[in-house]
Structure 1
Amino acid sequence: MITSNDLKKGLTIQYEGSIWKVLDFQHVKHGRGQAIVRAKLRNLRQGNIKDLTFRAGEKLETAHIETKTMQYLYENAGQHIFMDLETYEQIGIPEEKIEDELKFLKENENVDIVTYEGEVIGASLPVKVQLRVIETEPGIRGDTQSGGSKTAKLETGAVITVPLFVNVDDVLIVNTEDGSYDSRVQ
């Protein structure tokens, strides 16, 4: 048990029968009134984001989630198969649970699988991954790193915005948290 005063980014709590991860929070004190805590939370089961307000000192239940590094193997009939690197046991995760992560996940990549009391909640990718461009408009000679942008399709199927100088077969470093271009691998 914790209180709303103890909230911090990345903490997981049980609230309204679901598991929530704290994305952001703010302590607010109004004149003579009671202090409150405003929090932005992500439902780890459904993926939706909700803004909630708690009274200062309100008791909250922590949720102890576990992570285990597993290797992504392949997709089979809407199930994505991952292998435990220690026991070689394989599990299937439905596409709906890891839809956002699949945009940046290649076969044979290692990811952290997040579980709560044995229930798979999702996957946690590294903040930055390297992906190859498979489709984009040709780069124009003389384009510099500053200037316009265009879209590029990556080997995983994700479409991101990139600078004009990026070409097909370039390997890019992509931020998985917001799907943004970070840099080009030289």
Structure 2
Amino acid sequence: MPKINGNEIKAGFVLEHDAGLWAAVKVNIVKPGKGGAFAQVELKNLRDGRKLNERFRSEDKVERVTLENKDQQFLYEVDGMLVFMDNETFEQIELPADLLGDRRPFLQDGMMATVEYYGDEALSMRLPQKVKCRIVETEPVQKGQTAANSFKPAILDNGVRIMIPPFIAVDEEIIVHTELMEYSERA
């Protein structure tokens, strides 16, 4: 694994620090009037989700870790474990459902997800940025109401509550942004 200087850390880098794997969430380069510059880095532990603020001087050396991304197809869920298939080797693997956190309801049968591995250990999972969902419950459409900065609550077919524009009705399909968990557009 390559070592990098403390001032070369960028947001999104994965570092091996304090016997753990940490993702750099925010990086702020500070140049005080006296002394050398340093990087104030907000880190998030990839295994347990803890957060840490750390200061790295330019002469500090840290290990940069490269994670392997694999696209895998979701098959089914059993006892809190998600079963995925590697499309290259057709090998099936089980991953804990809590890797997705609150985005779990957006995972659909047959969907492709990107799983990040460190060796054989799965650390995180990314869903497609946008998914199609159906509205199952919302307030009725009101005539004459425009879409300008007004939203109403709705429940999707996967049970998630989001805010949608007033012109969307029950049984309509919409596109939902999975990272932000909000309405994107009509399907």
- Deviates most, 37-46 or 114-123: 37-46
Change in Cα spacing, 1:33 to 1:4, as seen in structure 2 (3 Å) is same
Query: What is the aligned-residue identity percentage?
Result: 36
Q: Equivalent of 2:76, from 74, 79, 85?
A: 74
Partner Cα distance (2:54, 2:157) in 1: 38
Asked if the contact 2:43–2:52 (Cα under 8 Å) also holds between the matched residues in 1, the reply is yes
Which SS does the other structure have where 1:81 is aligned? strand
Superposition TM-score, scaled by structure 1 size:
0.89
Amino acid at match of 1:74: Y
1:30 deviates by: 0.7
Letter in 1 for 2:4: I
How many Å apart are 1:69 and its aligned residue? 0.6
1:31 aligns with 2:24: no
Contact in 1 for aligned 2:100/2:126 (Cα 8 Å):
no
Q: What is the alpha-carbon root mean square deviation over aligned residues? A: 1.8
d(CA) in 2 for partners of 1:64 and 1:95? Answer: 23
Query: TM-score, length-normalised on structure 2?
Result: 0.88
Determine if the alignment matches structure 1 residue 52 to structure 2 residue 58.
no
Whichever residue aligns with residue 27 of structure 1, its letter is I
Tell whether the 8 Å contact from 1:101 to 1:124 is kept in structure 2 after alignment.
Answer: no
Mapped to 2, the partners of 1:5 and 1:83 lie a distance apart of 39
Q: Where does the alignment leave 5 or more consecutive residues of structure 2 unmatched? A: none
Partner of 2:23: 21
Match of 2:101 in 1: 99
Matched, 1:40 2:42: yes
User: C-alpha distance in 1, partners of 2:156/2:49?
Assistant: 24
Equivalent residues in 2 for 1:98-177, closer than 5 Å: 98-177=100-179
What does the per-residue CA deviation read over 1:134-162, in whole Å, with 9 as the maximum and x for residues that have no partner? 22222222222113222222233322222
Greater shift, 117-126 or 97-106, is seen at 97-106
| Contact kept? 1:147, 1:164, Cα under 8 Å | no
Alignment length (residue pairs): 185
User: Structure 2 CA distance, aligned partners of 1:50 and 1:168?
Assistant: 44
Contact map agreement 1:2 1:59 (CA 8 A) in 2: yes
- How far is the alpha carbon of 1:5 from its aligned partner? 1.2
What are structure 1's unaligned runs of at least 5 residues?
A: none
Query: Which residue number corresponds to residue 5 of structure 1?
Result: 7
Distance in 1, Cα, partners of 2:171 & 2:76: 23
Residue type of the alignment partner of 1:4: G
